[in-house]
Structure 1
C-alpha cells in the first residue's frame, strides 16, 4: 500500500491511501476451476439520497446487512462499524453525487474504496432490493469482479471541482454574450456584423457608451480601434437602431451579468492557483529542466496564472510543447488526471480506452463486428479532441497527421485519430519522463510530398516500360 500526504486545504482530507484493485483469480479443484476469494475483508454499499445499505461477510456480525442514514453522524457510524467488522476494502456504486461524502469519509478512515460504474455492476440475486444490491456488491468485490473507476486523490479532487466550476462560469459568461448580441439585433444594431468580437476593446467601448446614453452612431463609431477592418462609416451605419427602452434594459442586464461572471472567474482563478501552489509544493516527482515554449495562445478566458509552470511541476515534463495545447487545456488535464495517473493505468492502451479516444472493438468468431466509439463523455478525451481540432491547419508533424487522416476518413474521424495519438504521447511523456519530440509523431508535410513524388515517379517508370513492351 502506498501512502500520500497532502497539505490540509479548504478543510478537506490530509491523508489518503491508494491500492491497486485485485484481479479475479482461478483455482483448480477436484471439481474443476473455481473463482478464488481475493478480498476476504470486503464490504458492499448501496448508495441512495436518504439511506445507505451496507453489507459485510456473515462471519463478521450477526446483523451483517444493515441500513444507515445519510447524515454525517451516520457516515461516521458506518466507518466505525466497518472497522469493528475488520473490513479493509469497500465497493460502492457511483450514484449521482450521493456517494461523494461517504467515499471521502471512508478514505479518511483508511479504507480502500472501489467506486463501481453502475452500468458495469449487475445484481445476480433474484430480488431487486437495497439489501440484495449491497450483498451483490460485496460478493462481486470479494472475488475481484468489480472494475474500479478512476478517481484522483485529495487535493487533486479539489482542483478538479474548481476547474469544472470554472468551465461552468465561462459557459455562463458566453450565454450572456449571446444575450447582448440578441438585444442589439432586436434593435437592429449590427455591431456583431462589422466587429468580429463584441467582447474586444472596440466592442466593449461602444456597448458601454450606449448604456451611458450615447446613441449617436458617428460618435460611437469613433470609439472603435483604428485597427478594425471595417471603416468608421460602415461601423456608424451598423449603429443606426431603434434604441427601445426595453431592449436597452435587457442589454444592460446582460452586461452586468457578464461583468459579474468575469469577477467570479478572477476569484476562481485565484483559488485554483493557491491549490496548485500547495499541490506542487507537496508532491515529489522527477522533473526535467523547465524550458518555456513561448507559444502564443488565446487570451480570451485564459487562466490568470502561469499554468505552463504548474503543469510542468505536476507532470515533470512540459506538455505545453504538444501542438494544440493551451493553458486552459493544461489546467483541465492537471485537474482531471493528477500527477500519478500513469500508476493507475497500467498501459497506454487502457488510458486511451478510458479517455474514449480508442475504438471499442467487438470481435466474435475471429471477425471484427464493430469498432465504433462509445457514446460517452470523458473530460480528458474532450480536452484532447479540442487540442486535436486546433492543429488542423498547423504546419507541424501533428498537423500533417491530422490532414492525412482527414483525407482518408473525414474530419470527425481525423479528430478522434489525432486525439488518440495525443493521448499516447501524453502518457509516454509523463510515464517515461520525456519531453515532446516532433520526430516521433510522423512525417512532415515536405517529407510526405517527397514520398508522394517518388511513388509517382515509380508509377511513371512502370507505365513507360509497359508502353515500350506494347510497341
Structure 2
C-alpha cells in the first residue's frame, strides 16, 4: 500500500512540474476580517508566508514587503467586502490584481488553514490557473456603489410601508382596500391628518384625488376604525421613517446625477441629439428619479437604450452601473450572456449532459434584464411576440429567461458597435420564426431520407385555413 501511495504522490508532483510557469512574480493572499495571510515564492524571503493586520498601516507594510520581494501580480479571493481595501491599495500601487471567485479555488484535502489557503492560491496563480473576475473601471464602480445604495434605501423604505399597513390593519382602517398605494398622494394626506388628530372619516375622505377609482363614500367607510394610542404611535414613527428615507433617496438621486455628469461623453448630444421617445407619455413611477436621466444615460452609453422595449430608466441605470459600457471585457456575446447567467449552464458527466439549467447568480444586471423581460407580456412589439411564443412553448419562468437573454444580446450589440436600435415589427418576427421552423422541418426530413415540399396556404386572422 505504501508503494502505491508513493506512486500516486510522485505522479501528482510530476503533473505539477509539467505545468508551465506563467507568473513568476506571483503572490497569493487569503483575505480575512481581522488579518490577511500573504504567500510569496519561497526563494524571495526567508519567511515566505506572513500575516498582516487589516488596518491601513498594516496594508502599507504588506505593500512594502511585496515590493521588496519583487512581486508583480497578486491573486486573492472575493471574500465578502473585506477584499475591497486591499484590492484598491494594491491596484493603486501598480500591482496586477486578480480577484478570483472563491468557488473556483478548491483547496487540497486535509485540515484547512489560512496558511495553506494563501499558499494554494499562490501556487495556482503561478501556473496561470486562475482567472480574473469582472470589475469595471473606478468611475463605473463609484456609480455602481451609488446605484446599489439607492436600491438599499428603497428596500428599507418599503419595510416601513409595511409597518404603516400593519398599524392600519390593527386599527381596522381598511385604507388598502380602497387605495392602490397607501403612500400615494391621497394616502399620505389622509395619514398626516390622522396623525394630526382628525378622526372624522368624511373629512379625511375629502383628500381623495380625482384619479382615484373609489368614491369618497367608500374611502370614508374604510376609515371608520378603532384609533388606539399605541397603534397611532407606531403609525407616526413609520410615517416619519418613510419621510426620512424619501429625503435620503432624493439626496442619493442628486449625487447619482452629479456623478453621471463627470463621465466622459461617448457622443456629442448637440451633433447627435437624443432621439424622441417611442413610448407614449405616462404617469411617472414613484420610485423613478425626479429628473430625466435619459440625456445623461444617452451620453454615457453612446446610444439610446430606452428605445428597446421593456427597458426603462432605472433598469438601464442598473445595467450600465453593473456592466459598464466597455464590452471588450467579454470576447463574444455568448461570454457576456454566460457571465450574466442567462444561458444554459450545461453539466456533463460520461459524455452526457445531465443538467442544462441556468446557474444560480445574484447578478443585479441579470435581475434587471429579467424584470424588463417580464414587462413584455402585453407588449405589441416583436419582443412581446417572442415572449408570448416562448411562454406558450416553455412556460413563464423559461420565457422570462429567454427574453432576458435576447435583451442582453441587443444591449451588447448596441454598446459594442455603437449603432442605434432599430425596432423590428411583429410581422417581421413572425416571418423569421416561420422561416426557421421550415428550415428545421426540411433538415429533419433530410435526415429521414425524405424531401419536404412547401405549399403555402392562406390563413385568416383567427388562425383557420380558408
Normalised by the size of structure 2, how large is the TM-score? Answer: 0.85
Preserved CA contact (<8 Å) 1:286 1:433:
no
Q: 1:128 to 1:446 in 2, by over 3 A?
A: closer
Further displaced range: 128-137 or 364-373 = 364-373
Q: 1:308 to 1:374 in 2, by over 3 A?
A: same
Q: 1:289 to 1:361 in 2, by over 3 A?
A: farther
Q: Distance in 2 between matches of 1:206 and 1:176?
A: 17
1:363 and 2:348 correspond: yes
Which residue number corresponds to residue 150 of structure 1?
134
Q: 1:32 to 1:226 in 2, by over 3 A?
A: closer
Task: After superposition, give the CA deviation of every residue in 1:215-260 in whole Å (9 maximum; x if it has no partner).
Answer: 1111111210123211121111111111111111111111101000
Preserved CA contact (<8 Å) 2:346 2:354:
yes
Q: Distance in 2 between matches of 1:440 and 1:141?
A: 50
Preserved CA contact (<8 Å) 1:94 1:116:
yes
Q: 1:440 to 1:79 in 2, by over 3 A?
A: farther
Spell out the pairing of 1:454-465 with structure 2 (5 A cutoff): 457=458
Normalised by the size of structure 1, how large is the TM-score? Answer: 0.84
Task: After superposition, give the CA deviation of every residue in 1:88-110 in whole Å (9 maximum; x if it has no partner).
Answer: 11100111111111011001101
Segments of 5+ residues of structure 2 without an aligned counterpart are 1-13, 439-454, 460-464
Q: Distance in 2 between matches of 1:82 and 1:274?
A: 38
Preserved CA contact (<8 Å) 1:125 1:136:
no
Shift of 1:455: 7.2
Which residue number corresponds to residue 315 of structure 2?
329
1:200 and 2:180 correspond: no
Which residue number corresponds to residue 83 of structure 2?
99
1:112 and 2:71 correspond: no
Shift of 1:33: 10
Which residue number corresponds to residue 49 of structure 1?
33
Which residue number corresponds to residue 444 of structure 2?
none
Preserved CA contact (<8 Å) 2:266 2:301:
no
Shift of 1:399: 0.8
Segments of 5+ residues of structure 1 without an aligned counterpart are 1-29, 459-463, 465-471
Preserved CA contact (<8 Å) 1:359 1:373:
yes
Shift of 1:126: 5.0
Spell out the pairing of 1:54-453 with structure 2 (5 A cutoff): 54-124=38-108, 127-278=111-262, 280-281=263-264, 289-293=273-277, 295=279, 296=281, 298-340=284-326, 342-439=327-424, 443-444=428-429
Task: After superposition, give the CA deviation of every residue in 1:310-333 in whole Å (9 maximum; x if it has no partner).
Answer: 222222111111111111112211
Query: What is the aligned residue count?
Result: 426
Q: Distance in 2 between matches of 1:263 and 1:284?
A: 32
Q: Distance in 1 between matches of 2:299 and 2:426?
A: 24
Which residue number corresponds to residue 7 of structure 2?
none
Shift of 1:442: 8.3
Cα-Cα RMSD: 2.8
Further displaced range: 144-153 or 357-366 = 357-366
Q: Distance in 1 between matches of 2:267 and 2:201?
A: 59
Which residue number corresponds to residue 452 of structure 2?
none
Q: 1:292 to 1:371 in 2, by over 3 A?
A: same
Q: Distance in 1 between matches of 2:172 and 2:377?
A: 36
Shift of 1:119: 1.1
Shift of 1:76: 0.8
Q: Distance in 1 between matches of 2:253 and 2:346?
A: 41
Shift of 1:276: 1.6
Preserved CA contact (<8 Å) 1:401 1:442:
no
Preserved CA contact (<8 Å) 1:45 1:55:
yes
Q: 1:31 to 1:371 in 2, by over 3 A?
A: closer
Q: Distance in 2 between matches of 1:35 and 1:52?
A: 28
Shift of 1:49: 1.2
Q: Distance in 1 between matches of 2:430 and 2:171?
A: 49
Q: Distance in 2 between matches of 1:300 and 1:242?
A: 30
Q: Distance in 2 between matches of 1:285 and 1:168?
A: 31
Preserved CA contact (<8 Å) 1:384 1:422:
yes
